[in-house]
Structure 1
């Protein structure tokens, strides 16, 4: 089977996109053959502003229903594939929107939010992010993890500190994920994960999505799609072929002000990091170039079945389990 047929036929899932949501972006998703994508609708926002973001996303999905559909289940992912659309999986990059109310976990699940990152870079009521001293999972955090397990929301640990991450992994009765990360073994960075952390999450049934955000990659803004495949292979050799997928962290469409908002605590307070120039790897600089990744994996020597797992089948299996469909 040729590459184009493999890509066209495969389930293709991006486990983290934080782009500027509009029709142009959805058209690029379709050009890239994305079956579904985890789309960030909350980072620093509280409850009300997050509800507003979800309302805006609902309207955008309705207005572009020829291109996209809303995902609440893996059956919706299958329906997106069958109908030539891209499924929008709404997700948070911070549990801040839960505020101090456990009931909000189910409220947001009912609104269609199936993936929530426990912290975004800094401390919240649940635990600690990767850019400050890590105090671990709070008592309230343990309750939030249990409630996410109960209603079927995936715990994401990509921007979470190592101690909090370890305690979420041990606390959760369901698989958890680093939805978009890279290995410290290729570049030391607070956002990257050590070999021991990658092995620990995999040994406890967890899942790793590999990002291509170049500030965290070995060759920075000079990175290529081959560097990304190298990172995938590095993590694959630690976690195994059933615990790995894609989580690009694509930010296309956003400008300077957006990155300033992301890189300050709470969106406005102290500066946490500075990314510098944002350039995606040569060969896959937009979501529309996703077929190039399938080609690169096959060219690297990955088998067709393994390539299909990495491109999306593994994500579907994990989501089916966490979303209580098994």
Structure 2
């Protein structure tokens, strides 16, 4: 099967998109043949602010129902594929929205949230982010992990510190994930993961989504789709063909204010980092260019079966195990 046909036939899942939610993006998702995506609806927002974001997302899904469907189960992902639409999986990049209420986990699950990152770069009530001295998972955090396991919500460790990540992996009764990360073996960065960390999550039944956010790639802003595939190959060599997927971290359509919000603690306090210029790798600058990735993976020597797994099948298997449906 050639690359174009394979891409068309495969389930294609992006484990993390935090782009500007608008019609133009949804049309680009259709162009890119995206079956489903984990769409961020909370960073620093509290319970109420996050609920408001979910209301907004629900409205967008309804307005663009010719292109989108809301995903609660893996069956919905298959339905999106059959209907030629993109499934919206709602996710958080911070457990901050739970505030100090364990019961909010179930509330958000009922609203359709299936993936939650434990911390976003800094300390919260659950644990520690990757830009701070890492105190690990708190007692409250252990209760949150247990509750997330119970309701069927994926624990995402992409922006947490190494101690917190390890303790969540050990604490969770269900598989956990780095939905979007890169290996520090190719570039040292607080957001990147060591070979040991990648191996540890895979050995414990977890999952790694490989991102293409250029500040974390070896070639930086000069990165091409081949550099992204190099990172995928690197991670693949550590975790194997069943524990790897895609999590692009597309920020399509976002402006400078958005990045200022992301790079300050709580969205407004101390500056945590500077990304510099944000430009995606040449060859996959937009969601619409997703088919190029299937082609680049085949070109790199991945088999058709491996490409299907990386592009989406592994995500479906992981989510089925965590969500239970």
Instruction: Give the structure-1-normalised TM-score.
Output: 0.99
Equivalent position of 1:274 in the other structure: 274
Matches within 5 A, 1:85-100: 85-100=85-100
Equivalent position of 1:283 in the other structure: 283
List runs of 5+ in structure 2 lacking aligned partners.
none
List runs of 5+ in structure 1 lacking aligned partners.
none
Distance (whole Å) between structure 1 residues aligned to residue 155 and residue 164 of structure 2: 12
Question: Is the partner of 2:72 in helix, strand or coil?
Answer: coil
Equivalent position of 2:201 in the other structure: 201
Distance (whole Å) between structure 2 residues aligned to residue 128 and residue 286 of structure 1: 32
Distance (whole Å) between structure 2 residues aligned to residue 146 and residue 37 of structure 1: 25
1:158-189 CA deviation, whole Å, 9 max, x = no partner?
A: 00000000000000000000000000000000
Instruction: Give the structure-2-normalised TM-score.
Output: 1.00
Distance (whole Å) between structure 1 residues aligned to residue 323 and residue 218 of structure 2: 34
Question: Is the partner of 1:174 in helix, strand or coil?
Answer: coil
Equivalent position of 1:61 in the other structure: 61
Distance (whole Å) between structure 1 residues aligned to residue 7 and residue 245 of structure 2: 15
Distance (whole Å) between structure 2 residues aligned to residue 124 and residue 236 of structure 1: 31
Equivalent position of 2:82 in the other structure: 82
Question: Is the partner of 1:16 in helix, strand or coil?
Answer: strand
Equivalent position of 1:165 in the other structure: 165
Shift of 1:242: 0.1
Equivalent position of 2:243 in the other structure: 243
Question: Is the partner of 2:115 in helix, strand or coil?
Answer: strand
Equivalent position of 1:210 in the other structure: 210
Distance (whole Å) between structure 2 residues aligned to residue 309 and residue 136 of structure 1: 32
Q: Which runs of 4+ in 1 moved over 6 A?
A: none
1:16-63 CA deviation, whole Å, 9 max, x = no partner?
A: 000000100000000000000000000000000000000000000000
Question: Is the partner of 2:100 in helix, strand or coil?
Answer: coil
1:232-261 CA deviation, whole Å, 9 max, x = no partner?
A: 000000001000000000000001000000
Distance (whole Å) between structure 1 residues aligned to residue 134 and residue 150 of structure 2: 26
Question: Is the partner of 1:164 in helix, strand or coil?
Answer: helix
Distance (whole Å) between structure 2 residues aligned to residue 202 and residue 46 of structure 1: 32
Equivalent position of 2:178 in the other structure: 178
Distance (whole Å) between structure 2 residues aligned to residue 76 and residue 182 of structure 1: 29
Shift of 1:2: 1.1
Shift of 1:263: 0.2
Question: Is the partner of 1:306 in helix, strand or coil?
Answer: helix
Distance (whole Å) between structure 1 residues aligned to residue 212 and residue 78 of structure 2: 26
Shift of 1:283: 0.3
Distance (whole Å) between structure 2 residues aligned to residue 256 and residue 55 of structure 1: 25
Matches within 5 A, 1:35-50: 35-50=35-50
Distance (whole Å) between structure 1 residues aligned to residue 178 and residue 78 of structure 2: 23
Distance (whole Å) between structure 2 residues aligned to residue 20 and residue 88 of structure 1: 14
Distance (whole Å) between structure 1 residues aligned to residue 3 and residue 287 of structure 2: 17
The count of aligned residue pairs is: 325
Q: Does 1:226 align with 2:238?
A: no
Shift of 1:324: 1.4
Question: Is the partner of 2:209 in helix, strand or coil?
Answer: strand
